Structure formats: C-alpha cells, structure tokens
Amino acid sequence: MSLYQILFYVFASVAVIAAIRVVTVRNPVHAALFLVLTFFSTALVWVLMEAEFLGIVLLLVYVGAVMVLFLFVVMMLDVNIAPLREGFIKNLPVGVFVALVMIVELALILGPASFGLDIYPPPEPAAAQTGNTLAIGQVLYTKFVYPFEIAAFILLVAIVAAIALAHRRRPGVHYQDIDAQVRVRATDRVRIARFDDDKTRRGDIAGDSNANQDEKKP
C-alpha cells in the first residue's frame, strides 16, 4: 500500500467515524465538533485528489464560518440534552428504513454498472504546477457562467428573504444611531463658560439665555 492509499484510508475512516458520532453523541456541542472533524477529513481527502481549491474552500466556508455560527447558536440555546434523546428507539425503525432506501438508491446509481473503472478510468494525475484554482476559474466564468450566476442569484434571494423576515421596526425599541454618535463634537455637548468677575458673570447669565434662544431658532 502506498503512502497515498494509507493517507486516503486514514482520512476517509476518520470522516466516516466522525460522521457517525455526529448523530450518536449525547452533547450537541460535541456533535457540532464532530461535524467539524468530518468536514476537515473530507477536505483532506479532496486535497489528496488534487482538488486543493475545493478542499480549502470547504474548510474556509464550512469550518470557518458556517460551523462557527452553528456552535454559536448551540452554545447560546443551552439545549437540555435529555429531551433530545427521547424517542430515539421509537424513531429508530423509520430512520433505519430511510437510510436503507437511500443506500439502495445510491448503490443503483453509483454501482459498478454505471461508474465502474472500465467506464470511468481514474483521471491522469495533473502535471505539476497547473493550479486547480486556475482550472476551476477558467471553466466557471466561461462554460458554466450562467449556472454559476443563477446559483449566486438564488443565494442572494435567500439572503434578502432572510433579512426581510427578521428586519422589522418594532415600536418602543430604542436604536442607537452610531453615525450621529461618531459625528458628535465636543461643542455639541459642552459649552465652556468663562467667569472673570461679578460683572461678566451677570453678563454671562444673560448670554446664557441668549444662547438658548439661538439654539431654538433653527
């Protein structure tokens, strides 16, 4: 067995074991962490198959952003673990049935009859120095530009929809206008009054009322 194969089996088995642990582990935070491990091992398998761009982007998007937000929510919710475990045995037959149906369907499509080595021989290893990133970019923005743009548009619509659902002005809630806070100057908040002697003090009080009137004018 070559080093390549050893690495593949190590990463693949870690991915599978971690994926199983995601659904069997008791603590939701641990489950999220096992999902991170699954993504990580999958990314390594992809890098092993010379798809370094996809592997690293998987890490960047799912491990770096999506799972962080997942963890954030799971930690915030302080999920009570016991109710989550209830009904595991009751729902187990349905789950096993769905899983079996999926496995059979996948086997029908991905079996050796349609994806065997004689039909799809393993691709030649890419020549050194040809970046996977460049190759993907060249087809993504030429041949597949419409599907790519449409996918991007659908995601944009999803973002707008999510924001539209959450974004509403509720009465009675105080918002901070940070722009106004940043723009504020010392002269807006404090007025330096100078008191020299009795005369000017009287004059200053008079000036004070004038100043108030000035403020009201505009």
Partner 1 sequence: MITEWLSPVIGWMSPAWQYLVVHVLLTLVIMMPIIVSVAYLTLAERKVIGYMHVRIGPNRVGPRGLFQPFADVFKLMFKEVITPTVANKFIFYLAPILILVAALVAWAVIPFDDGWVLADINAGLLYVLAIGAAGVYGVILAGWASNSKYALLGGMRSAAHKVAYELAMGFALVGVLMASGSLNLSEIVRGQEGSILHWYWLPLLPMFVVYFVSGVAETNRAPFDISEGESEIVAGFHVEYSGMAFALFMLAEYASMILISALAAVMFLGGWLSPFQGTFLEPVFAFVPGIVWFLVKISFLLFVFIWFRATFPRFRYDQIMRLGWKVFIPVTILWIAVEGVFHYFQVGPWF
Q: What are the residues binding partner 1 (CB under 8 A)?
A: 3, 29, 33, 36, 40, 52-53, 56-57, 59-60, 63-65, 68-69, 71-72, 75-76, 129, 131-133, 176, 178
Q: Which residue has the tokens 């390549």?
A: 4
Q: Which is nearer to partner 1, 8 or 70 (CB)?
A: 70
User: How would you class 104 by CB atoms within 10 Å of its CB: exposed for 0-12, middle for 13-18, buried for 19 or more?
Assistant: exposed
Q: Which is nearer to partner 1, 38 or 132 (CB)?
A: 132
Cβ 63 to partner 1 shortest distance, Å: 6
Tokens of 58: 């998987």
Cβ 58 to partner 1 shortest distance, Å: 9
> In 128-218, where do the E strands start and end?
none
Cβ 49 to partner 1 shortest distance, Å: 14
Instruction: Name the nearest CA neighbour of 44 among 14, 23, 2.
Output: 14
Determine the Cα–Cα distance for residues 42 and 69; give it in Å rounded to an integer: 20
Instruction: Name the nearest CA neighbour of 132 among 45, 53, 57, 47.
Output: 53
3-class DSSP assignment, residue 117:
coil
Q: Which is nearer to partner 1, 64 or 203 (CB)?
A: 64
Q: Which is nearer to partner 1, 142 or 176 (CB)?
A: 176
Cβ 189 to partner 1 shortest distance, Å: 17
3-class DSSP assignment, residue 129:
coil
Tokens of 191: 């007025």
With beta carbons less than 8 A apart as the criterion, state whether 67 and 35 touch: yes
Cβ 24 to partner 1 shortest distance, Å: 17
Q: Which is nearer to partner 1, 73 or 84 (CB)?
A: 73
